[in-house]
């Protein structure tokens, strides 16, 4: 296992900005897939960690033994469940899953394009939501062993290959499958930049109303549903969106997904990595993740927390923070700002490379002071 972390660390330190851009992206894309599959197939880490009880969170009647867990996209196929538990994560989030299985994007001969920018603590990806589809994912969840204080969530999205009416029906079918499979919470991904969707307010409102009417209001058991939006969401839209979610019966909001503000975020990229960054988004588009999102995430989380505090109702509505959480200080910051829970992806990969099996032990110091 230590050898795999060493390889991950080596991958992070490798000066790929010296390679021609197509080689660097091909190497990163291949390396991510292969190394991740090796790491997640090692079930039990050498150093298991149980988060201290002082870090526990209680949301929607569920106990999260710690507020931090993986963001959607880390475990797309139900892999790494045991590893995540023994590392000390607060929950396990599977997906994003769509109705039909997807292999992800292949462009310019590169499957699931991905680029890590370690000097900028950032990454770019246009994987294109590879996943096994709702039926297979629900069967995977059904078979997972259950651990106390370690809820299982599933991230879902409308299938971009289907017409809207069919995509909504198939999403509904998926939600019912997950409910029957014993999933603890759902995250509705309304913000993936790598699949086509109508981003207009009218279209978003229609989708959210449809799901509320056909699923939320008819839930047979308590199954919280949160909506994940992009870190590019304009601040002016936020109050109306929060009001709509609360009114329709959603249980929280996750802020936020990757950004496509390529030019605006260019100054946050280390000078030595700028040519790779620019080459990637010109060829593939995709979403930016990691430290460059911290500023937008901070702004949106703080505004949302203030709005939620002003509009508190008897019903629980939680704020989940994600985007540029790279270290214990970032985690402490989002929890102090009012987030109930937090997720990470890019920071998680960086921390795994540096801290190996102690990845959640390293982060846990930040959450125990905020019961
Ligand atoms: C390689 C990669 C794949 C991702 N896949 C998904 C996904 O399937 N669904 C989703 O909602 N977000 C996905 N994301 C976005 C992350 O969940 C997260 O919102 C984003 O990366 C910001 O967090 P970070 O700065 O901690 O990485 C992905 C991100 C990366 C880097």
Low-confidence ranges of the chain (pLDDT < 50): 369-371
- In this structure, the residues whose C-beta lies within 6 A of any atom of ligand 1 are 71-73, 96, 114, 123, 125, 127, 129, 155, 189, 192, 228, 257-258, 289-290, 293, 322-325, 344-347
In 10 A of CB 16, how many CB atoms? 21
Domains of the chain, start order: 2-364 (3.20.20.70)
Instruction: Give, using CA atoms, the residue closest to atom 8 of ligand 1.
Output: 73
Which distant-in-sequence residues (6+ apart) come within 8 Å of 6 by Cβ? none
Pocket probe mutation, ligand 1, options 11, 288, 289, max atoms within 8 Å of Cβ: 289
State how far the Cα of 201 lies from the Cα of 92, in Å rounded to an integer.
30
Ligand 1, atom 29: nearest CA belongs to which residue? 73
Distance 313 CA to ligand 1 centre (A): 30
Q: In this structure, what is the dihedral angle of CA atoms 67, 118, 287, 160, given to the nearest 10 degrees?
A: -80
Indicate which residue's Cα is closest to atom 3 of ligand 1: 73
Choose one of 125, 345, 348, 363 to mutate for the ligand 1 pocket test, by most ligand atoms within 8 angstroms of C-beta: 345
Q: Give the pTM.
A: 0.94
**Residue 193's pLDDT is what?**
66
Beta strands in 199-257 (DSSP E): 225-230, 252-257
Query: How far is the centre of ligand 1, averaged over its atoms, from the C-alpha of 320 (Å)?
Result: 14
φ/ψ (deg, to 5) at 25: -70, -40
């Amino acid at each position: 296992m230590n050898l795999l972390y060493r390889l991950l660390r080596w991958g992070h330190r490798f000066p790929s900005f010296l390679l021609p851009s197509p080689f660097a992206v091909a190497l990163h894309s291949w390396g991510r897939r292969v190394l991740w599959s090796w790491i997640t197939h090692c079930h039990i880490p050498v150093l298991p960690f149980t988060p201290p009880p002082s870090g526990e969170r209680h949301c929607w009647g569920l106990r999260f033994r710690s507020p931090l867990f993986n963001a959607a996209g880390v475990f797309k196929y139900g892999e790494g469940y045991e590893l995540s538990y023994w590392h000390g994560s607060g929950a396990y989030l599977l997906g994003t899953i769509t109705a039909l299985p997807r292999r992800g994007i292949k462009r310019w001969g590169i499957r699931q394009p991905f680029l890590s920018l370690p000097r900028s603590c950032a990454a770019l990806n246009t994987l294109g939501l590879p996943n096994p589809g709702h039926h297979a994912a629900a069967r995977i969840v059904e078979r997972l062993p259950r651990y106390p204080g370690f809820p299982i969530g599933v991230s879902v999205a409308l299938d971009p290959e289907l017409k809207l009416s069919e995509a909504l029906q198939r999403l509904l079918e998926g939600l019912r499958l997950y409910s029957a499979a014993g999933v603890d919470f759902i995250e509705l991904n309304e913000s993936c930049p790598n699949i086509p969707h109508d981003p207009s307010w009218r279209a978003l409102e229609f989708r959210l109303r449809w799901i509320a009417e056909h699923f939320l209001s008819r839930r047979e058991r308590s199954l919280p549903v949160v909506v994940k939006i992009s870190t590019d969401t304009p601040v002016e839209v936020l109050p109306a969106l929060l009001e709509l979610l609360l009114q329709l019966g959603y249980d929280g909001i996750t802020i936020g997904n990757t950004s496509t503000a390529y030019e605006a975020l260019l100054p946050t990229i280390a000078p030595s990595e700028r040519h790779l960054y620019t080459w990637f988004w010109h060829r593939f588009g995709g979403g930016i993740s990691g430290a460059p999102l911290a500023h937008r995430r901070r702004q949106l989380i703080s505004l949302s927390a203030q709005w939620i505090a002003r509009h508190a109702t008897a019903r629980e509505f939680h704020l989940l923070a994600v985007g540029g959480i790279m270290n214990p200080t970032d985690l402490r910051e989002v929890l102090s700002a009012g987030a109930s829970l937090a997720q990470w992806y890019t920071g998680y990969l960086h921390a795994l490379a540096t801290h190996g099996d102690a990845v959640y032990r390293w982060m846990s110091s930040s959450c125990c002071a905020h019961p």
